[in-house]
Amino acid sequence: MSAHPLPLDRSATVLVAGSSGLVGSAVVRRLRAQGFTSVAGIHSADVDLTDDRATLDCVTSLRPAVVIDAAARVGGIAANDAEPVEFLNDNLRIQTNLFAAAHAAGVDRLLFLGSSCIYPKHTPQPIPESALLTGALEETNDAYAIAKIAGVIAVRSYRRQYGRRWISVMPTNVYGPGDTFHPTRSHVLPALIRRFHEAVRSGAEEVVVWGTGTPRREFIHVDDLAAACTHLLDHYDDPSPVNIGVGEDLTIADLATLVADAVGFTGRITWDTSRPDGTPRKLLDVSRLLATGWRPRIGLPEGVRATVRWYADTVAGSDGRRRAC
Ligand SMILES: NC(=O)C1=CN([C@@H]2O[C@H](COP(=O)(O)OP(=O)(O)OC[C@H]3O[C@@H](n4cnc5c(N)ncnc54)[C@H](OP(=O)(O)O)[C@@H]3O)[C@@H](O)[C@H]2O)C=CC1
Ligand SMILES: C[C@H]1O[C@H](OP(=O)(O)OP(=O)(O)OC[C@H]2O[C@@H](n3cnc4c(=O)[nH]c(N)nc43)[C@H](O)[C@@H]2O)[C@@H](O)[C@@H](O)C1=O
């Protein structure tokens, strides 16, 4: 048992790996807003976390008290399906190197971001944390999911073998400012914001959306996710991962209508059923998270409208890659 109390000391040095990304940049904003005075961010321009030596040098020279691992190769269903080798290898390397470096630097507190795709493709809904490793994975992202499962087991192993107070969280699908709006590589929400926005600008009467529209997904605004992460570091210390979600889902068809309305697209929505649907439903059981006293604040319609505004002001007209923060 550590002599140090659970709530983080606001003067502790916190290292956010992946600080230029959707989640990492929101975590940095959240930590600063909460009064953390020593927040260090790293991303691929600073250090290639697939390189074990460079990662060790970086972490041991910074000597953080806390590490938040939001660095990963991330993408939507098409990118995962097309490049399973990179999604497996890069994510295994990044987390293995970062965990080994954090351990070598004596880091007692670490939060690892997994993903809801670690759960079986067909599993009772809402999905409790206990569903892990109870069934076969969705084929389009099994390589990424296996890497994330290895991360959960690694965190649990560092706890068991070395007494590290490290935790894993499993967020549902995330969206918000700072996302990647690539037309084919990104997740559904940013992809649709971009596609509907371009249709309005070009006067197109039709927008094509992938799949059948029947899969159900749960979406959390990235500022809520960042708040949940820092809340859990202050209130949770257990080997079991914690789901992070909002407790509600909707169909991709309903999501497409929501985004179309937010962007002001009044034309036709059609479906490209040659594209994969992926997992039929991913709704997380968030009772463990709620038991810690945390609640989400940003509803989906409000969050989508704000993200559409952010996209129009910040990204539209560029190549769709977010700007670094
Ligand atoms: N987005 C989502 O819907 C969900 C995300 N998650 C998890 O949250 C975490 C963050 O995801 P998200 O913010 O969306 O992803 P992003 O793609 O937005 O950000 C990924 C971050 O990782 C960094 N990175 C990638 N490869 C390397 C590398 N080799 N060396 C150093 N840094 C690297 C990127 O740096 P750079 O910008 O320089 O490339 C970037 O800062 C991931 O673990 C992801 O699995 C979980 C569930 C859902
Ligand atoms: C976060 C999560 O993200 C991925 O899994 P996913 O939940 O399937 O995510 P997605 O956002 O890409 O798709 C959700 C649904 O939406 C449909 N869809 C419609 N039109 C578009 C579209 O234009 N782009 C995309 N990407 N999807 C579309 C699409 O066909 C699917 O039915 C994995 O990386 C996984 O590993 C992971 O962790």
In a domain, 193, yes or no: no
Residue 186 counted as an annotated binding residue = no
Q: Is the pLDDT of residue 4 over 90?
A: no
Q: Is the pLDDT of residue 191 over 50?
A: yes
Q: Is the CB of 185 under 6 A from ligand 1?
A: no
Could you tell me which residues are beta bridge partners of residue 148?
Answer: none
Interface predicted TM-score of the whole assembly (ipTM), two decimals? 0.99
Q: How far is the CA of 233 from the centre of ligand 2 (A)?
A: 29
State the ligand closest to the CA atom of 198. 2
Q: Which atom of ligand 2 is nearest to the CA of 75?
A: 34
**Residue 321: per-residue pLDDT:** 54
Contact in structure between 69 and 96 (CB atoms under 8 Å)? no
For the record, the structure tokens of 271 come out as 């479906």
Q: Which atom of ligand 1 is nearest to the CA of 112?
A: 43
**Helices within the chain (DSSP H only):** 22-33, 52-62, 77-82, 84-104, 142-162, 188-202, 222-235, 252-263, 287-290, 300-314
Residue 20 counted as an annotated binding residue = yes
Residue 23 counted as an annotated binding residue = yes
In a domain, 141, yes or no: yes
Strands of the 38-42 sheet, one edge to the other: 38-42, 13-17, 66-69, 109-113, 165-171, 242-244
Determine the residue of 188, 189, 197, 255 to mutate for testing ligand 2's pocket, defined as the one with the most ligand atoms within 8 A of the Cβ atom.
Answer: 188
In a domain, 2, yes or no: no
Contact in structure between 265 and 200 (CB atoms under 8 Å)? yes
**Identified catalytic residue from 144, 158, 236, 311:** 144
Q: Is the CB of 258 under 6 A from ligand 1?
A: no
**Residue 315: per-residue pLDDT:** 84
119 is catalytic: no
Domain containing residue 117: CATH number: 3.40.50.720
- Tell me the backbone φ, ψ of residue 58, rounded to 5 degrees: -65, -50
Q: How far is the CA of 183 from the centre of ligand 2 (A)?
A: 12
Residue 114 counted as an annotated binding residue = yes
Number of domains in the chain: 1
Q: To 5 degrees, how large is the angle CA 232–CA 103–CA 155?
A: 45
- Give the residue from 90, 77, 100, 195 showing the smallest Cα distance to 148: 90
pLDDT digits (tens, 9 = 90+) for 228-276: 999 999 999 999 999 999 999 999 999 999 999 999 999 999 999 999 9
Average pLDDT over the chain reads 96
Evaluate the CA torsion angle 236, 242, 246, 248 in order and state its sign: negative
For the record, the structure tokens of 320 come out as 């769709």
State the ligand closest to the CA atom of 43. 1
Residue 216 counted as an annotated binding residue = no
Q: Is the pLDDT of residue 89 over 50?
A: yes
The CA–CA distances, whole Å, from 267 to 107, 206, 208, 212, 256 equal 53, 6, 11, 18, 12
In a domain, 52, yes or no: yes
Q: Is the pLDDT of residue 311 over 80?
A: yes
Q: How far is the CA of 127 from the centre of ligand 2 (A)?
A: 18
Domain coverage including residue 33 = 13-176+219-246+283-299
Q: How far apart are CA 121 and CA 137, in angstroms?
A: 5
Cis check: omega of the bond before 183, within 30 degrees of 0? no
Q: How far apart are CA 101 and CA 103, in angstroms?
A: 5
The radius of gyration of the chain from alpha carbons, rounded to an integer in Å, stands at: 19
In a domain, 317, yes or no: no
Q: How far is the CA of 39 from the centre of ligand 2 (A)?
A: 32
In a domain, 261, yes or no: no
In a domain, 210, yes or no: no
- What's the pLDDT band for 49 if we cut at 50, 70, 90? very high
In a domain, 56, yes or no: yes
**DSSP string for 154-221:** HHHHHHHHH--EEEEEEE-EEESTT----TTTS-HHHHHHHHHHHHHHHT-SEEEEES-S--EE-EEE
Residue 116 counted as an annotated binding residue = yes
Q: Is the CB of 117 under 6 A from ligand 1?
A: no
- Give the residue from 215, 213, 224, 214 showing the smallest Cα distance to 246: 224
Q: Is the pLDDT of residue 103 over 90?
A: yes
Q: Is the pLDDT of residue 155 over 90?
A: yes
Residues in contact with ligand 2 (CB, 6 Å cut-off): 75-78, 80, 115, 117, 141, 144, 173, 186-188, 191-192, 209-211, 215, 217, 252, 275-279
Q: Is the CB of 25 under 6 A from ligand 1?
A: no
Evaluate the CA torsion angle 98, 166, 24, 309 in order and state its sign: positive
Q: Which residue has the least CA distance to atom 41 on ligand 1?
A: 18
Q: To 5 degrees, how large is the angle CA 191–CA 226–CA 83?
A: 40
